[in-house]
C-alpha cells in the first residue's frame, strides 16, 4: 500500500483510509506545541532517499491539525477525487438539511432537461406553506420562481420552498422522493435514502459522509454554471433581503458553499467547499454537538486539506470512487438527541456543566483571538 495516509481514531488505533494493514511503515507524526496531533501517518515501502524523506517530514510538520474525536468526516480534493482525510465515512447518519443538496440537484437536472426553467413559477400549496421552520413564509399573492426558491433553500434552508419545488417537479412529495432516490442511485450514493425534500426528521431518511461528498462533487461537476448560487451570501425576494445561514462563507477564506443542516437527532452537519489558487477542497462534517464546533472542525479540515492535497496526490492517496466501503454497521444510526447542545434539544444545562467541569480540569483558558459572533441555534427543525 504505497503512500497511503492514516488517520487516528479515539481508540488510538491507526488505519489507512482503505482500512488495510500497511505492513512496513514510515511514520510521520505532527506535533503542535506540547500536544501530539494524529494528523498523518504515511505508510508504504521506503523507496525515496534521505532528501525525499526530509521533504515528507517537512510537509507533515507544516500541516494543520485535525481533531481526533468527532462524528463521521470526509475530506476530498474536488478535482482529483483524492481522499485527504476520512473518519467513519460510511456510518449512516440523519442528513437533516443536507437533504436539500439533493433537492437542488434534482431541480437543476429538471432545468437542464428542459422540464422547467429558472423563471418557472413555483406554486406554494397549503402543505408547502404549512411546513415547520425554517421557512420564509411569503405572503399570499407574491409570486415565487425556481431561481428564488433554490436560493431560498440554499441560503435560508427554507422548508416551504423545498416542498414547493418537490410538488412542482415531482407532482407530490412522494413522487419527488422517488426522483431523489433515482438520482442518488445514479450518482453511486449507495447508502442514502430520501423520503422528503427538506430533511425534517424521518427515521428512514439516511445518508453518509461519503455519499454527501459524492453529491457535492456532482453538483460542481454537472452544474458548474450554478456555482454562484452556493457562494452568494445574500439574496432578495421582492423587498426582503435574506442572508446565508452558513457562517463559513463569512469566516473561512475561499469558502464558496455548500449547505448546513441541523436537527436534534442529526446534530450539526455541514458540507462546505473552499477554493484557493484554483484548487477546491470539500469537507463533510456530521454530528457535531454545537454549531460553533461544527464550523471550527470544518474550517480545520479545509485548512488541513489545502496543506496536504499536493502531498497526497504525489503519494497516491486513494480516490473517492476507489475508497473501500466499510461493512454495514451492526448498530442502527446514531442518534445525537442526548448530545446536541441546545435548549431546543433539552441539553443546554448539561452542556454548561460539561464546560465548567472541563475548565476545572484544565485550568484557566488561554486568551482567545477575536472572532465573528456565531448565531445561536434556532431549534430542532431549523436548517442550519
- Catalytic residues, which ones? 97, 100, 157
In three-state form (DSSP H/G/I as H, E/B as E, the rest C), the secondary structure along 39-83 is: CCCEECCCCCCHHHHHHHHHHHHHCCCCCCCCCCEEEEECCCCEE
How far apart CA 352 and CA 318 sit, in angstroms, is 41
Of 159, 197, 155, the residue nearest 179 (C-alpha): 197
DSSP-derived letter for residue 6 is E
Answer whether 219's CB lies under 8 Å from 104's CB.
yes
Of 87, 207, 100, the residue nearest 155 (C-alpha): 100
Dmax (CA) of the chain: 72
Instruction: Taking the CA atoms of 216, 187, 310 and 72 in sequence, report the sign of the dihedral they define.
Output: positive
How far apart CA 329 and CA 294 sit, in angstroms, is 24
Amino acid at each position: 500500500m504505497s503512500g497511503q495516509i492514516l488517520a487516528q481514531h479515539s481508540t488510538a488505533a491507526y488505519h489507512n483510509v482503505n482500512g488495510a494493514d500497511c505492513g512496513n511503515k514510515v511514520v510521520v507524526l505532527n506535533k503542535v506545541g506540547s500536544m501530539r496531533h494524529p494528523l498523518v501517518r504515511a505508510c508504504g515501502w521506503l523507496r525515496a532517499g534521505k532528501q525525499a524523506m526530509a521533504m515528507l517530514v517537512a510537509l507533515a510538520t507544516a500541516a494543520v491539525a485535525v481533531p481526533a474525536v468527532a462524528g463521521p468526516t470526509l475530506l476530498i480534493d474536488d478535482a482529483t477525487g483524492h481522499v485527504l482525510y476520512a473518519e467513519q465515512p460510511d456510518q449512516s447518519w440523519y442528513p437533516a438539511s443536507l437533504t436539500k443538496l439533493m433537492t437542488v440537484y434534482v431541480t437543476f437536472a429538471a432545468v437542464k432537461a428542459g422540464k422547467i426553467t429558472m423563471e418557472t413559477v413555483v406554486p406554494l400549496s397549503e402543505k408547502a406553506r404549512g411546513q415547520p421552520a425554517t421557512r420564509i413564509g411569503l405572503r399570499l399573492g407574491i409570486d415565487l420562481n425556481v431561481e428564488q426558491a433554490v436560493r431560498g433553500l440554499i441560503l435560508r434552508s427554507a422548508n416551504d420552498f423545498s416542498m414547493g419545488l418537490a410538488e412542482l417537479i415531482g407532482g407530490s412529495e412522494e413522487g419527488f422522493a422517488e426522483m431523489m432516490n433515482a438520482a442518488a442511485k445514479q450518482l453511486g450514493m449507495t447508502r442514502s435514502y430520501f423520503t422528503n425534500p427538506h430533511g425534517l426528521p424521518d427515521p428512514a431518511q439516511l445518508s453518509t459522509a461519503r455519499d454527501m461528498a459524492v453529491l457535492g462533487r456532482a453538483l460542481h461537476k454537472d452544474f458548474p454554471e450554478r456555482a454562484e448560487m452556493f457562494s452568494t451570501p445574500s439574496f432578495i425576494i421582492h423587498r426582503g433581503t435574506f442572508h446565508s445561514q452558513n457562517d463559513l462563507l463569512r469566516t473561512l477564506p475561499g469558502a464558496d458553499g455548500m449547505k448546513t443542516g441541523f436537527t436534534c437527532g442529526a446534530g450539526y452537519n455541514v458540507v462546505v467547499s473552499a477554493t484557493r489558487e484554483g484548487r477546491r477542497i470539500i469537507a463533510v462534517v456530521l454530528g457535531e454537538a454545537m454549531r460553533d464546533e461544527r464550523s471550527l472542525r470544518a474550517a480545520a479540515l479545509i485548512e488541513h486539506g489545502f496543506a496536504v492535497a499536493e502531498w497526497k496526490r504525489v503519494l497516491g492517496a486513494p480516490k473517492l470512487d476507489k475508497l473501500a466501503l466499510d461493512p454495514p454497521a451492526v448498530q442502527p444510526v446514531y442518534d445525537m438527541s442526548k448530545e446536541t447542545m441546545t435548549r431546543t434539544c433539552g441539553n443546554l444545562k448539561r452542556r454548561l456543566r460539561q464546560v465548567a467541569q472541563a475548565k476545572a480540569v484544565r485550568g484557566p483558558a488561554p486568551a482567545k483571538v477575536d472572532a465573528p459572533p456565531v448565531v445561536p441555534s434556532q431549534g430542532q427543525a431549523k436548517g442550519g
